[in-house]
Amino acid sequence: MAFRVLKIILICVLLVVSVVCSLVPIVLRCVASRARSIRVRNALRTVMGLASCYGGGVFLATGLLDLLPDTREEIGEGLKIAGYRNVEFPLAEFFVVMGFCVVLCTEQIILHFRYVLEVTRVQLSSSSSSIVAADDQCPPLSESQSSLFHKPRPTSSSLLRVGLLVVSLSLHALFEGLALGLVTQYSLALQIFAALCIHKGIISVSLGLNLASCQVTTVLYVTCCLCFALSGAVGGFIGVTVVDAVRSSASRLVSGFLQGTACGTFFYIVAFEILPHELEEDQRQKLPKLIFFILGLSTICLILRVGDCYHFHLDWYTSQAFAAWFRAYRLSYTSS
């Protein structure tokens, strides 16, 4: 019960982080406009890039060293309960690859239809007297990370293009929320929470800047940011519901499948979003970003190594501390 409450609190904190970070572009634009200095913009851009690479390292280590072994354990226990003890097919790795391919194919299909709509719009506009310049389009999703601090340009607002952008990003948030809701260990939940705070903060800022560059209305801006933030919370609550179900073979297999899918999403984020855009954006920052990426990997490795060498059972200590706090809170609530 206490662990379930902890996960709900972490999911709610991630919801607040996503909403707050999506409003950061307004503040950054005010700071940049008042400073009128390229140094301020470059400093903000560098900080965001380093934080993104650090989060990528945390994601990769968490997926490979924690989430993937947990997926194998869930699937193995589910197969044992169902009576299948000699299954040689690597189901855990298959679910990871499946999750990777599902997210990749879904996003590429969305981007394909978005490109078709853009080409159609330009062709229709070229036949009229008011031709829309090609560089006034909304930045594509694949360039959202590298264009975080570019100066926004006036564009024609398109509800469909904005919707495709929000849906594509929300897919990631949904599976990321699943990864947090499905974990059964305190230490792993805290590790995934820390990684999600970094990554969702970067993505939320990127989404806000994309919406601002499209010059959407304030109501639509807030609505899109809320949809993106709520998608992660929905995924988290779905994961909590699945974990708290009866621990039958079916529930364990479903939990393993969803965790494998979330693990594949982690790999997609690192391999196709964070590393390609951050390492190719600025050649001068390549080495510092690589160092921060390795620091992210080392952080998770150090936590796991310390736990193995010194028998520091983080799950037990964290569970006891949080359970004690939860009991004290419940007693104070009932006494009042």
Encode pLDDT of 245-271 as tens digits: 545 667 678 777 877 887 887 788 778
Cβ 166 vs Cβ 227: under 8 Å:
yes
How many C-beta atoms surround the C-beta of residue 194 within 10 A?
17
Q: 319: burial class by Cβ within 10 Å (0-12, 13-18, 19+)?
A: middle
For residues 219 and 107, give the distance between their C-alpha atoms in angstroms, rounded to a whole number. Answer: 26
Length of the chain: 336
Token pair for residue 108?
Answer: 């590429």
For residues 256 and 284, give the distance between their C-alpha atoms in angstroms, rounded to a whole number. Answer: 42
Locate the domains of the chain by residue range. 2-335
**pLDDT grade, residue 130 (50/70/90)?**
low
Q: Which of 166-170, 199-203, 218-222, 320-324 has the highest mean pLDDT?
A: 218-222
Predicted pLDDT at 94: 92
**Does residue 146 carry a pLDDT above 50?**
no
**Does residue 204 carry a pLDDT above 50?**
yes
Q: Indicate the Cα dihedral angle 30, 31, 33, 35, nearest 10°.
A: 160
**Does residue 156 carry a pLDDT above 50?**
no
